[in-house]
Homo-oligomer: A and B are copies of this chain.
């Protein structure tokens, strides 16, 4: 994985100065970097670290005087995180899976696995599965019958993909994710308490026995291209139609997507987000960590929700929301400010009422 500064600069489409033939084998924070590593100092706050470290070359903020830090070469970046994307890709060693299919795997003879596959030990691939070229599938993965996965998949260990799931190209799936478990869908023979309070907003006539009858999940899961799914995340299959995840969307660890949910394209769903059944999430939606979204609602395109937001009702497209229940972010900021002042308000109100009572008494005795 060794690269010259010139190669890196070209990969990042960035300007470089100094000895571009210097070779590095990795990247490190400025103070920790040795001569074999390129120091990551894309912000002036790292100047001190640069002086402390032992790197010969660095990624620097624009206009940095690289010679002053004892460097022999420098690459200048304008958008540091984008540069990190390019640099980290260049130096990522990837996971080690021996090429070919490990002899311990149980692969159904009817499965079609594209050229260039590497599949680790104890992976189980079911009847009629079709996987595109260059798949890297780690150990102890399960892919059930008739599932189709596109080209260049990277599937980490312990992933479970159920039957008849359809997944696009360049799929990345972190360990322990479960795609295509049955939806959580039950019904009581008579109207249940939940149905009742949904229509009455909290009032219940009487409380009666309720046993749950299972609605089976006949649908599947359909995932577009360039999707990444986090560790131990879950995407349930649909009841009749498919649960869908649009191309370019990224789901973080422990995200939970209920049955029939439609997630649009280029969304970011951060750690521990939960989306309940049959809800539609638009394109380019960003839900920060631990957001919850109720069932059967619509979250419009380009909505952004702050961490911990609970979305109970439709959100119009383009809105930035926060809170429980979710309101416009600026409204929540106002509410939060008010809440901190609220206990004092009660005291002030009591005082004012006292004053008014006295004024009234005075008025009536005049």
Tell whether A330 is near chain B: CB-to-CB under 8 Å. yes
Q: Which residues of B contact A184 (CB under 8 A)?
A: 230, 250, 252-253, 270-271
Interface residues on chain A, size class = 35 or more
Complex: chain B residue closest to A102, CB-CB = B106
Q: Which of B122, B218, B328 contacts A202 (CB 8 A)?
A: B328
Number of this chain's copies in the assembly equals 3
Check A213–B85 contact: CB distance below 8 A. yes
Nearest chain B residue, comparing its CB with the CB of A238: B29
Contact B140 A122 (CB under 8 A): yes
User: Which A residues, 257 to 285, have Cβ-Cβ distances below 8 Å to chain B?
Assistant: 258, 266, 268, 270-272, 274, 276, 284
Residues of A within 8 A of B (CB): 26-29, 32, 40, 79, 81-82, 84-85, 88-89, 91-93, 95-96, 102, 104, 106, 120-122, 124, 126-127, 138-140, 142, 144-145, 156-158, 160, 162-163, 172, 174-176, 178, 181-182, 184, 186-189, 193-194, 197, 201-204, 207, 209-218, 228, 230-232, 234, 236, 239-241, 248, 250, 252-254, 256, 258, 266, 268, 270-272, 274, 276, 284, 286, 288-290, 292, 294, 301-302, 304, 306-308, 310, 312, 318, 320, 322-325, 327-331, 333-343, 345-346, 348-349, 352-353, 355-356, 359-360, 362-363
